[in-house]
Structure 1
Amino acid sequence: MIVVTGSVTARPETFDEVRRLSLEHVHRSRTEPGCISHAVHVDCENPLRLVFFEQWADRTALAAHFKVPASGDFVRALRSLAAGATTLELYDASRIEKL
């Protein structure tokens, strides 16, 4: 499984649009093959920062997601609305059944 984390901090005047676009992206992404989960959350310490958490079946599914034109459009829109750089990190993960 591939875990993706990311974040964007909106400017105060762009937060509503960043939130709207983020939810639209999350809902669309959930319908893609290989998407296990896809969510966006508001940071409790910085209410202008949105944090993404995604789980994908494998690298192939994630690569296909990145090739979807709407995904590229989303990233470009966020960059124009963000207060600073966005973050994106990918992790290879496997489930530990029991400790």
Structure 2
Amino acid sequence: MIIVVGSVDGLGENFDRLMKVSLEHVRRSRMEDGCVEHTVQVDCENSLRLRFFERWRDAIALEAHFARPGSRAFAQEVAKLCARPPVMTIHEAEEKSF
């Protein structure tokens, strides 16, 4: 399993647009093969920060996601709407049951 965690700090005047394109991206991504979970939330401590959490079946599915035109267009749009460069980390994880 691959886990992606990210955040983006919006600008007040662009935040509604940032939220809209982020929700569109999340909903589109959920339909992709290999997407287990894809969410976006507003940070409770910074109302202009969006936090993303994603789980992908494997690295191949995530690479296919990044290669999609919609994902590239989303990244380009976000770059125009944020106060600083987005942050993203990618983790390989093993699911365990307790």
Which residue is 1:26 aligned to? Answer: 26
Give the total of aligned pairs. 98
Report the AA paired with residue 75 of structure 1.
Answer: A
Which residue is 1:57 aligned to? Answer: 57
Identity score, percent: 47
Separation of aligned partners in 1, 2:33 and 2:69: 15
Any unmatched runs of 5+ in structure 1? Answer: none
Q: How does 1:1-99 map to 2 (within 5 A)?
A: 1-98=1-98
**Residue deviations 1:54-93 (CA, integer Å, cap 9, x gap):** 0000000000000000100000100011011101110001
Separation of aligned partners in 2, 1:76 and 1:88: 15
**Residue deviations 1:4-28 (CA, integer Å, cap 9, x gap):** 0011110000000000000000000
By how many angstroms is 1:96 displaced?
1.9
TM-score, L = length of structure 2: 0.99
Report the AA paired with residue 94 of structure 1.
Answer: E
Separation of aligned partners in 1, 2:41 and 2:68: 23
Structure 1 residue ranges (4+ consecutive) displaced by more than 3 angstroms after TM superposition: none
The alignment yields a C-alpha RMSD, in angstroms, of: 0.4
